[in-house]
Amino acid sequence: MKFLDEYRDEALATKIVDEICRITTRPWVLMEVCGGQTHSIVKYGIDRLLPDTIELVHGPGCPVCVTSLEMIDKAHAIAQRPDVIFCSFGDMLRVPGSEDDLLILKSRGADVRVVYSPIDCLKIARANPDKKVVFFAIGFETTAPANAMSVFQARKQGIKNFSILVSHVLVPPSIASILQSPLNRVQGFLGPGHVCTVMGYHEYEPIADRFKVPIVITGFEPIDILEGVLMTVRQLESGTHTVENQYPRVVQRDGNRVAQQLVNDVFEVCDRRVRADRHSGRRFNDRAPARIRNARGGKPISASGPTRRQPGGATIGQRCVRSVRSQMARRRIHSEKRL
């Protein structure tokens, strides 16, 4: 496929790795922020291609992982109501709450449906006027425009039986939180390419400046990731700390203004404390323009049911520290095995 296959070229990957090896004079710890980047790194074995001096720490950018237990329990309580059709991306089906997961609830008779896009929920809502259709709106900035559009269209099309359970998370406060941790070891970041497709990357410039870390907005194919590593290491080796864009074929500095406008109209920034830090999430904007207000449709659905606190109540900063520690532990095990 065009724009995919050429970024998987093995010979080119080898040359970039050679260049990384050539310019690296000391160990560096890099974090890829996005779960999709982690997926590519593991799938293509990129971490094993890199020299031992480059350590990749997997970042917080998996919306499934950072969704709080309280929110998952709330989703499950709603999904079990007989008057609800509960819609979700497939990723969330097996994620356990305090008691069950959505697949188990479905096997017990709950009407849980997987959708490809939140906009598909509007069709389900129109076809089931006697039911309340609820979408589990998780995700980072990449997914927020799709969820905002579903709300906007529900309002515009007069669909009253559609609601979303908002659990959005933001990336820049997560990076700042990691950097503020006294145990942080991360020295440079591969920034989240698709988040920045929506939001642009100007938000990262004050972070790079304040914490003196290079942030390279990076794509998701093997060549993208290796080039992102090369650009980050170049900055680290030369002592610079700016935001660079490795992924200009889709990312512009200002992002997608049309999408940002609707996201800001529908949602507002809020504290989402459990697996992130303050001001790191989005909820419905109570001061939304009239074209958006009441788009939730009908009365708010209460989520009575068991809710428990997140075990450990980890913040993203702590999560990062944990992942660093677990990597160190794994390395110890490796070295012990070798001995």
Partner 1 sequence: MCLAIPGKLIEIASDSNGVRMGKANFGGIVKQVCLEYTPEVQNGDYVLVHVGFALSKVNEEEAARTYKLLEEMKQLGELDTPDVDPWSTGKAAEST
197 is a site residue for partner 1 (CB under 8 A): yes
Which residue lies nearer to partner 1 by CB, 12 or 93? 12
49 is a site residue for partner 1 (CB under 8 A): no
114 is a site residue for partner 1 (CB under 8 A): no
Among 80, 143, 163, 235, indicate the residue that binds partner 1 (CB under 8 A).
Answer: 143
SS3 string, 25-50, reads CCCEEEEEEEHHHHHHHHHHCHHHHC
Which residue lies nearer to partner 1 by CB, 86 or 89? 89
CA torsion, ordered 263, 245, 62, 28, to nearest 10 deg: -150
18 is a site residue for partner 1 (CB under 8 A): yes
7, 223 contact by CB (below 8 A): yes
Among 59, 97, 145, 214, indicate the residue that binds partner 1 (CB under 8 A).
Answer: 145
Shortest spacing between CB 299 and partner 1, in angstroms: 24
Tokens at 9, concatenated: 């070229």
82 is a site residue for partner 1 (CB under 8 A): no
Choose the stretch contacting partner 1; rule: CB under 8 A; options: 113-121, 176-184, 283-291, 312-320. Answer: 113-121
31 is a site residue for partner 1 (CB under 8 A): no
Radius of gyration of the chain (CA): 21
Q: What single DSSP character describes residue 140?
A: S
Amino acid letter at 52? D
284 phi/psi in degrees, rounded to 5: -60, 140
Shortest spacing between CB 274 and partner 1, in angstroms: 18
Query: Pattern 122-141, binding to partner 1, x per CB under 8 A?
Result: ----------------xxx-
270, 279 contact by CB (below 8 A): yes
